[in-house]
A and B are shown apart, each in its own frame.
Chain A
Amino acid sequence: MTKKPMILGIGGSGAAMVEQLALLPGIGEYHLALVDTDRSAIEHSSATFLLSAAADWGIASGCGCGGDVIRGERALAAERQSVQKMLAEASCLTVCGGLGGGTATGGVRTISSVARTMNIPAAFLLTTPFSFEAYSRKQNADECIRELLPVVDILLTIPNDLLFSKLPPDLPAAQAFEKSALEMAYTVFGVSELMRCRNLLGADYAAFMRPVKGVRCDCSLGVGVADSSDGLDRSAIALERLLASPFLGGPDFLKKAETLFLVLSGGTDLQLAELKRTMEMASDVFPKKIEVFSGAAISENMDGRIQLTAIAVKYEKTPHTRKKTAVGRQELRQPDDGAVSTGELLQEEFSLTSYSRGIFENLPPTKYRDEDLDIPTFQRRNISIDRGKTGA
């Protein structure tokens, strides 16, 4: 099998996105892959590459992770060799899924590690939990993002809250989730088109990577699709539909956005004038202060259609930090420079975690910027580690 760009869905959300992707025209240029711990999702998937990783529940194996990140991590770790075989067919990789549960949150680390080892350019588009979901899911997602940020080139996180904030409240829930998956699928497709490097406007993988590497950012996305049946001015229609996209966040989000990725995907019938007009119209519409990265990708499968994909990126400022002293007492959270103080009273917490220094226990600490470097780095970063399972 020849190497092609690959779109990989991970976990339940990833499976839904992959199903929508399979229906898009132009998807033939890609390998579609799905990794999940839920065997039934694998059995019903249209993806070309399927990997069922078993989270070890005994008789319930193959029924998902139950939101347990450690199980998700172990399941993918055990299938690392299979992941390697799968990614050997990929020239570049786009990973999509939803953080907060077990499979994607635990397993995405293995995917990123394998991609890095194999030197495959990879972009990660992951959603973060709803605000009404359990706090532990948000914590799991935050921890995963913290860990992924230094090691992946492109990580775009899309808050689920944003996905549904603009939809009509009387829309049936099933339709809302389907629409969300479809919009995400279009976006994943648009991003993947940019990475495919058949790019006319010079915005390639490296240009895509530069503004977001190592930086936590929240994104909103908008997709506008138009084809020849929509009339001569399909570019204007595509732009109109993009701006009307419920997941773009509207003017409120765009005002706060700092970077915008704009990708025009079209077929061999895309004309120069059309390309120029579309990009000019789009640039006029978005706030001037936004830094715009434009890309245009051509595919025979897109003949007669154009798709305009926009990803608006709002960088998270240096997060509020919780400084922990050597004895585990936390100081008051301090807002960083530039953040607006709301005057809100913050509840202090006493950390019940005691940090071991191991062989350096009775020695003077090695201090650097208020941190004791003798305490393991992963502990100071609040990263949980799978210590493995003891067998019989």
Chain B
Amino acid sequence: MGSAMRTPVTVIEFGTDKIRVLHGNGDGEGGALVTSFAEAPSEGSVIKGAIHDPVKAGKILGGVLDRTGNTEAINDDNRMTLFLLNGAVVNSCRGEGSLMLHDGGKVENRHVEDVLTKAHGITLPPGMVSFNSFDGFFVLDRRSRVKYPVGQHANQLDAYLHILTTEQRVLDQIHGIMFNLGFERKGEPLFNGVASAYGVLRKDEREQGALLIDFGHGACDYVLVCTEGIYLSGVLPVGVAHVANDLAIGLDLPYDYCLKFLREGKLKKMRDADTAFLEYVVSVTGKKRRIPLDSFERIIEFRLREIYSVIRAKVQEKNLSSCMTAGVVLCGGGSMIEGSLEMAKDIFSDSAVRIGEPFGVAGVMNGFEMPPPCYASILGALKYAVEELSQQEESGIDVVRNALSRVGENVLSNVRKVFRR
């Protein structure tokens, strides 16, 4: 665990609210270290998690890269570059492979490789590519669900992978932006929800099963992790921006004002101060409008309830509620909205619910203006990269380069174990 752990890593996040760049590396002891960080408002170039204006996004990213002070090093031979993918353009599917065993029934590594190759052999519509694949689980003789089948006896081995897909043009767009900024090598895509899961889920939660909801500005990502595999993931393109938009429309207030109201936690502060009304000065007339705080509360409550109800319905549709033994973990800026945690507890009334904060990351944190759950994805991506690099060093397989060309190659190395021991 030497040189690979200290391999520099760059993570780029095209968030609906902010475009962020983080540089870091492993700390040599299994943790991650941030060496520099910068962010800037995306100014509408990213909407609902997906890039809407690539030219503007590229310009902003360039400025952010300059501020990290590390522009010249981005083409270091050893540097690993990740970019987070989000938005309605991300889909998931399940890859399934099946293998009959004829050699005495004991599962060996080659059997696992064969069945994973089959599982990875999904047919995608034209224009779609898979960009991440993760362990789901293995099933022996259609009866027993296991995590590690090697050495066990069975007549039939089934493998289930969780495969994330997107449109080729989306990846090309991001690679184009990065190329224009001087990146000579293509970065590696990582689903935003998986990055957040890396950032905030504890080991016991990953083992027992937990639903991670990253409530972001433009979209909510959700990932159900169980026995260190991914059972379900998705993106609901509704986020904090929708909550602010609802307030703006419902109360006839400027959108930015409503966003600030949410970010500064003004509802709670005013309630604590026993204020019942918000006095808003209409700029044109100078007159004051007294708006009951109850109206804010109601609008926010309706939207939060809907968001969590939709995600819950998605889990129930797949009959995976029993795989959430450890409960629900919220992160992202939306988890900090007043009433968000309580609403999640109400909707997921059968499960424990908590707000997750990134852990296992140290270093230069003074660039972070907002509370830690907002940075779960970018910090989680750094942890992911550090862990991948340590696996690379252990296995000797270079799994970092040319992410898009790995389909059909040695699948065992291509399938990322989500959280190795």
Interface on A for B, CB 8 Å cutoff? 73-74, 77-81, 109-110, 113, 147, 150-151, 356-360, 363, 366, 368, 373-374, 376-379, 381, 383, 385-392
Task: Check B241 against A147 for contact (C-beta < 8 Å).
Answer: no
Q: Which residue of B lies closest to A117 (CB)?
A: B271
| Alpha-carbon gap, A7 to B294, bound state (A) | 23
- Can you report 23 A-B residue pairs in the complex whose CB atoms are below 8 A from each other? A77-B276, A81-B276, A109-B294, A147-B298, A356-B249, A358-B245, A358-B246, A358-B248, A358-B249, A359-B245, A374-B245, A376-B245, A376-B249, A376-B302, A377-B302, A378-B250, A378-B298, A378-B303, A385-B250, A385-B298, A388-B290, A390-B282, A391-B290
Task: Check A359 against B289 for contact (C-beta < 8 Å).
Answer: no
B362 on the A face (CB < 8 A): no
| Alpha-carbon gap, A81 to B252, bound state (A) | 26
A77 interface neighbour in B287, B288, B293, Cβ under 8 Å: B293
Task: Check A388 against B251 for contact (C-beta < 8 Å).
Answer: yes
Min C-beta distance of A149 to chain B, whole Å: 11
Task: Check B294 against A378 for contact (C-beta < 8 Å).
Answer: no
Task: Check B246 against A110 for contact (C-beta < 8 Å).
Answer: no
Task: Check B295 against A385 for contact (C-beta < 8 Å).
Answer: yes
Task: Check B241 against A81 for contact (C-beta < 8 Å).
Answer: no
Q: A73-B294, A383-B298, A389-B289 are in contact. List 20 more A-B contacts (CB 8 A).
A: A77-B276, A78-B292, A80-B294, A150-B305, A151-B301, A359-B241, A359-B245, A363-B48, A373-B237, A376-B249, A377-B299, A378-B298, A378-B303, A379-B250, A386-B291, A388-B278, A388-B291, A388-B295, A389-B290, A390-B282
| Alpha-carbon gap, A113 to B267, bound state (A) | 14
B359 on the A face (CB < 8 A): no
| Alpha-carbon gap, A386 to B298, bound state (A) | 10
Interface centre among B48, B302, B303 (most CB of A within 10 A): B302
Q: Which residue of A lies closest to B252 (CB)?
A: A387
Min C-beta distance of A201 to chain B, whole Å: 25
Interface centre among B237, B251, B280, B303 (most CB of A within 10 A): B237
Task: Check B289 against A388 for contact (C-beta < 8 Å).
Answer: yes
B277 interface neighbour in A381, A388, A390, Cβ under 8 Å: A388
Q: Which residues of A contact B261 (CB under 8 A)?
A: none
Q: Which residue of A lies closest to B241 (CB)?
A: A359
Task: Check B299 against A386 for contact (C-beta < 8 Å).
Answer: no
B294 interface neighbour in A77, A356, A383, Cβ under 8 Å: A77
Tier of interface size on chain B: 35 or more
Interface on B for A, CB 8 Å cutoff? 47-48, 88, 236-238, 241-242, 245-246, 248-252, 255, 274, 276-278, 280, 282, 287-295, 297-299, 301-303, 305-306, 310
A358 interface neighbour in B255, B278, B295, B306, Cβ under 8 Å: B255
Q: Which residues of A contact B47 (CB under 8 A)?
A: 363
Q: Which residue of A lies closest to B288 (CB)?
A: A391
What total of A-B pairs shows CB separation below 8 Å? 113
Min C-beta distance of A324 to chain B, whole Å: 16
Task: Check A359 against B292 for contact (C-beta < 8 Å).
Answer: no
A80 interface neighbour in B245, B276, B306, Cβ under 8 Å: B276
| Alpha-carbon gap, A386 to B291, bound state (A) | 7
| Alpha-carbon gap, A359 to B310, bound state (A) | 22
Task: Check B297 against A113 for contact (C-beta < 8 Å).
Answer: yes
Q: Which residue of A lies closest to B88 (CB)?
A: A366
Task: Check B303 against A376 for contact (C-beta < 8 Å).
Answer: yes
Q: Which residues of A contact B249 (CB under 8 A)?
A: 356, 358, 376, 379
Q: Which residues of B contact A381 (CB under 8 A)?
A: 302
| Alpha-carbon gap, A362 to B290, bound state (A) | 31
Min C-beta distance of A351 to chain B, whole Å: 17
Q: Which residues of B contact A389 (CB under 8 A)?
A: 289-290
| Alpha-carbon gap, A255 to B95, bound state (A) | 51
Q: Which residues of A contact B280 (CB under 8 A)?
A: 388
Task: Check A377 against B292 for contact (C-beta < 8 Å).
Answer: no
A366 interface neighbour in B48, B248, B277, B288, Cβ under 8 Å: B48
Min C-beta distance of B83 to chain A, whole Å: 23
Interface centre among A73, A368, A376, A391 (most CB of B within 10 A): A376
A78 interface neighbour in B237, B276, B291, Cβ under 8 Å: B276
Q: Which residues of A contact B290 (CB under 8 A)?
A: 388-389, 391
Interface centre among A360, A366, A379, A388 (most CB of B within 10 A): A388
The 3 closest A-B pairs by CB, nearest first: A388-B291, A376-B246, A77-B292
Task: Check A390 against B245 for contact (C-beta < 8 Å).
Answer: no
Interface centre among A378, A383, A386, A389 (most CB of B within 10 A): A378
Task: Check B245 against A360 for contact (C-beta < 8 Å).
Answer: yes
Q: Which residue of A lies closest to B293 (CB)?
A: A77
Task: Check A378 against B251 for contact (C-beta < 8 Å).
Answer: no
Q: Which residues of A contact B251 (CB under 8 A)?
A: 385, 387-388
| Alpha-carbon gap, A392 to B301, bound state (A) | 31
Q: Which residue of A lies closest to B258 (CB)?
A: A358
Q: Contacts A376-B245, A378-B250 given; indicate if A359 touches B287 (C-beta within 8 A).
A: no
Q: Contacts A377-B246, A388-B289 given; indicate if A81 touches B274 (C-beta within 8 A).
A: yes
| Alpha-carbon gap, A330 to B301, bound state (A) | 26
Task: Check B295 against A387 for contact (C-beta < 8 Å).
Answer: yes
Task: Check A386 against B295 for contact (C-beta < 8 Å).
Answer: yes
Task: Check B277 against A77 for contact (C-beta < 8 Å).
Answer: yes
| Alpha-carbon gap, A374 to B218, bound state (A) | 11
Task: Check B237 against A366 for contact (C-beta < 8 Å).
Answer: yes
Q: Which residue of B lies closest to A391 (CB)?
A: B288
Q: Which residues of A contact B301 (CB under 8 A)?
A: 151
Task: Check A374 against B242 for contact (C-beta < 8 Å).
Answer: yes
| Alpha-carbon gap, A377 to B303, bound state (A) | 6
Q: Which residues of B contact A356 (CB under 8 A)?
A: 249
Min C-beta distance of A37 to chain B, whole Å: 15
Q: Which residues of A contact B292 (CB under 8 A)?
A: 73-74, 77-78, 386, 388
Min C-beta distance of A15 to chain B, whole Å: 23
| Alpha-carbon gap, A378 to B306, bound state (A) | 10
Q: Contacts A376-B246, A376-B249, A377-B306 given; indicate if A113 touches B294 (C-beta within 8 A).
A: yes
Q: Which residues of A contact B48 (CB under 8 A)?
A: 363, 366
Min C-beta distance of B48 to chain A, whole Å: 7
| Alpha-carbon gap, A374 to B244, bound state (A) | 11
| Alpha-carbon gap, A368 to B241, bound state (A) | 17
Q: Which residues of A contact B294 (CB under 8 A)?
A: 73, 77, 80, 109-110, 113, 386
Min C-beta distance of B407 to chain A, whole Å: 29
| Alpha-carbon gap, A374 to B249, bound state (A) | 11
| Alpha-carbon gap, A151 to B298, bound state (A) | 11
Q: Which residues of B contact A388 (CB under 8 A)?
A: 251, 277-278, 280, 289-292, 295
Q: Which residue of B lies closest to A360 (CB)?
A: B245
Q: Which residues of B contact A357 (CB under 8 A)?
A: 245
Min C-beta distance of B362 to chain A, whole Å: 37
Q: Contacts A358-B248, A363-B47 given; indicate if A390 touches B242 (C-beta within 8 A).
A: no
| Alpha-carbon gap, A376 to B241, bound state (A) | 11
Min C-beta distance of A153 to chain B, whole Å: 10
Q: Which residues of B contact A374 (CB under 8 A)?
A: 238, 242, 245
Min C-beta distance of B241 to chain A, whole Å: 7
Q: Which residues of B contact A376 (CB under 8 A)?
A: 245-246, 249-250, 299, 302-303
| Alpha-carbon gap, A78 to B250, bound state (A) | 20
| Alpha-carbon gap, A368 to B297, bound state (A) | 24
| Alpha-carbon gap, A387 to B250, bound state (A) | 7
| Alpha-carbon gap, A345 to B297, bound state (A) | 40
